[in-house]
């Protein structure tokens, strides 16, 4: 493993900086992140067509009325955003990417296993965003096929991600304002258009649908938990944790609720699964501008999925052999490979997208919840933010070992205990029907592994480590 550079010039903060730190800790002298900048990162990351599609799930798949959909969206995002923001507050303290921190709970190789799971998640979101962005462009330009749109959007995201953190952050900040204006204008047009409410779908309240949509909101926010420290690690250590928490929380929740609310309006008229085409039709002459804006924003903002996916990929790759050097060239190669894999996944998986995406979101929930619980209780309750960061880069894991049995077993138990409660089109657990098909797996999946991990670690006499 290597650092390509001993020192980076702080003066480069005025221009686009080509990232060279990759998964290495960010020195305090190079932490030029601001609360405002971090807020716009997380506000902008949800200004995407995929967020519209997700909001449309309430009426179109769960059969909820507009009011019940919005209520479920708000509650779910408020709950899930709290967890994501707590993860973000770890970045300024440790200065390393989010999933590399998993080595503190799961050991050197155990943390790499969790990083691989995160890689699959980032790939899924990147591919999903490519499909919906391409659909937005295809709705405006009939001669442009969805496949061609996918390739173009992947190329744009790749270019941004190659530069790394600085360009990704600035691009998301710019597009968050641009798309925010379009979203607010779209709200006004849709609400004033009688056709928006002329739905042919029978909608109302059902408990399974309400809690299903609430779980989607929770999942949506927690899906950002593996990203958040990738950006908050650039915040100053002194006072940065509190700033990172509130910037991440407000940005994520406000951006998501706003765009999912727009999606809920679209969902009232969604029958064929192409939410962006429906949105364009309801907006009339303003539709092409909005669809183009969303498509362009998705192509650029989607770079965050490549960037964080590559951070997790490098974390896992490093553990394969001591001869592997994690440097800038390796990051660039992984960025290109990662983008190509996601692009082909989008091309070959674009059919039946809405149904597949719903199951993808719920599977994410099942695998992320136990990791989130273990990470949070370890950081805030057991170690109180004190870790030996240097040990996380040692092949023997240092004080964290090669594989932390307590962490890995607690995580696996957290997945197993969810199985009886799961509700997806692929599998429905035996306890789902007695509970009215209300998906409570995520609640069990958070409590059980968290409690088990705390009890196990305290029995071992674990406590705060000395920072290093």
Residue 229 lies in a domain: yes
Q: What is the band of 74 on the pLDDT scale with cuts at 50, 70, 90?
A: very high
> pLDDT-based confidence at 20, cuts 50/70/90?
low
Q: Which pLDDT score is estimated for 4? A: 45
405 — pLDDT class (breaks 50, 70, 90): very high
pLDDT at 382 exceeding the cut of 90: yes
Closest CA to 113 of 422, 456, 374: 374
Longest dimension (CA), the chain: 66
Share of the chain above pLDDT 90, in %: 35
What is the structure's pLDDT at 9?
38
The answer as to whether 402 is a domain residue is no
Strand ranges (DSSP E) for 253-317?
none
Average pLDDT over residues 207-229: 88
Say if 312 falls within a structural domain: yes
Residue with more model confidence, 154 or 168: 154
Per the domain annotation, does 2 fall within a domain? no
pLDDT at 115 exceeding the cut of 90: no
242 confidence band (pLDDT: 50, 70, 90): very high
Alpha carbons 426 and 403: distance in angstroms, whole number: 32
| Chain segment 261-275, per-residue pLDDT in tens | 999 999 998 766 678
What average pLDDT does this structure show over 378-407?
Answer: 93
Domain-located, residue 139: yes
CATH classification at residue 126:
1.10.4160.10
Give CA–CA dist 218/442, Å, rounded: 9
Question: For residue 315, is it within any domain?
Answer: yes
pLDDT at 253 over 90: yes
Quick check: pTM over 0.95? no
pLDDT at 1: 40
For CA atoms 5, 235, 379, 225, the dihedral sign is: negative
Check the CA dihedral 183-272-194-291 and report its sign. positive
Q: Which two tokens stand for residue 144?
A: 């442009």
Q: Which tokens belong to 301? A: 């903002």
57, part of any domain: yes
- 231 pLDDT above the threshold of 70: yes
Q: Sorting pLDDT into bands at 50, 70 and 90, what band is 213?
A: very high
> DSSP 3-state assignment of 21?
coil
Lowest mean pLDDT, pick from 78-82, 174-178, 290-294: 174-178
DSSP 43-58: HHTT-SHHHHHHHHHH
Confidence band (pLDDT; 50, 70, 90) for 430? very high
- Residue 247, pLDDT score: 95
Choice between 361 and 219, residue whose per-residue pLDDT is larger: 219
Give the angle 269-270-272 at the CA atoms, nearest 5°: 135
- pLDDT given at position 222: 85
Summarize pLDDT for 332-361 with one digit per residue, the tens. 888 898 889 888 888 877 666 655 666 676
Domain that holds residue 53: 27-351
pLDDT, mean over the chain: 84
* pLDDT for 256: 95
Mean pLDDT computed over 88-95: 92
The percent of residues in the chain predicted with pLDDT above 70, rounded, is 90
For residue 398, what are the CA distances in angstroms to 12, 110, 137, 401? 35, 13, 50, 6
What mean pLDDT comes out for the span 216-222?
87
Q: Is the pLDDT reported for residue 181 higher than 60?
A: yes
Count of structural domains within the chain: 1
- Lowest-pLDDT range of 10-19, 83-92, 367-376: 10-19
Over residues 225-254, the mean pLDDT reads 90
> In which band, very low, low, confident or very high, does the pLDDT at 198 lie, cut at 50, 70 and 90?
confident
Q: Identify the band that residue 10 occupies on the pLDDT scale cut at 50, 70 and 90.
A: very low
Q: How confident is the model at residue 12 (pLDDT cuts 50, 70, 90)?
A: very low
- 53: pLDDT strictly greater than 70: yes
19 or 79: which carries more pLDDT confidence?
Answer: 79
Higher pLDDT: 170 or 267? It is 267
Instruction: Put residue 331 in one of left, alpha, beta given phi > 0 → left and psi -120 to 50 → alpha.
Output: alpha
Q: Is residue 196 part of a domain?
A: yes
Using one digit for the tens of pLDDT, what is the confidence trace for 278-301?
888 899 989 898 888 888 888 887
162-189 mean pLDDT: 82
Count CA atoms within 13 Å of residue 444 on its CB side: 17
């Amino acid at each position: 493993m290597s650092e390509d550079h001993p020192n980076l010039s702080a003066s480069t903060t005025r221009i686009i900086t080509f990232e060279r730190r990759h998964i290495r800790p960010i020195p305090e002298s190079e932490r030029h992140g601001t609360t405002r900048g971090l807020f716009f990162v997380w506000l902008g990351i949800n200004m995407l067509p995929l967020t519209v599609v997700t909001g449309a799930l309430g009426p179109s798949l769960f059969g909820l009325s507009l009011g019940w959909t919005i209520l479920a969206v708000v509650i779910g995002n408020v709950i899930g955003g709290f967890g994501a923001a707590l993860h973000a507050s770890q970045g300024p303290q440790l200065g390393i990417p989010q999933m590399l921190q998993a080595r503190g709970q799961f050991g050197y190789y155990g943390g790499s296993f969790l990083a691989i799971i995160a890689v699959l998640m980032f790939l899924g979101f990147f591919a999903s965003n490519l499909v919906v962005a391409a659909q937005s462009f295809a709705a405006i330009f009939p001669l442009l096929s969805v496949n061609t749109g996918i390739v173009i959007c992947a190329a744009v995201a790749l270019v941004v991600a190659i530069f790394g953190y600085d360009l990704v952050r600035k691009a998301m900040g710019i597009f968050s304002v641009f798309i925010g204006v379009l979203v607010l204008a779209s709200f006004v047009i849709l609400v004033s258009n009688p056709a928006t409410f002329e739905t042919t779908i029978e909608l109302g309240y059902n408990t399974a649908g309400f809690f299903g949509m609430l779980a989607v909101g929770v999942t949506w926010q927690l899906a950002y938990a593996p990203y958040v420290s990738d950006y908050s690690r650039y915040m100053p250590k002194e006072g940065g944790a509190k700033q990172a928490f509130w910037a991440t929380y407000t940005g994520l929740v406000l951006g998501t609720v706003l765009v999912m609310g727009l999606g809920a309006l679209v969902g009232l008229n969604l029958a064929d699964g192409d939410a962006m085409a429906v949105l364009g039709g309801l907006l009339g002459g303003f539709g092409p501008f909005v669809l183009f804006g969303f498509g362009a924003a998705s192509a650029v903002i989607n770079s965050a999925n490549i960037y964080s996916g590559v951070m997790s990929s490098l974390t896992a790759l490093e553990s394969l052999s001591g001869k592997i050097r994690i440097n800038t060239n390796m990051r660039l190669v992984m960025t290109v490979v990662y983008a190509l894999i996601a692009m082909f996944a989008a091309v070959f998986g674009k059919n039946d997208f809405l149904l597949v995406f719903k199951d993808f979101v719920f599977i994410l929930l099942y695998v992320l919840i136990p990791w989130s619980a273990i990470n949070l209780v370890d950081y805030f309750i057991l170690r109180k933010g004190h870790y030996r960061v240097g040990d996380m880069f040692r092949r023997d894991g240092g004080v964290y070992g090669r594989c932390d049995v307590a962490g890995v077993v607690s995580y696996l138990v957290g997945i197993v205990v969810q199985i009886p409660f799961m509700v997806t089109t692929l599998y429905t657990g035996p306890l789902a029907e007695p509970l009215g098909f209300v998906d409570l797996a995520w609640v069990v999946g958070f409590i059980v592994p968290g409690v088990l991990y705390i009890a196990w670690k305290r029995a071992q006499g674990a406590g705060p480590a000395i920072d290093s």
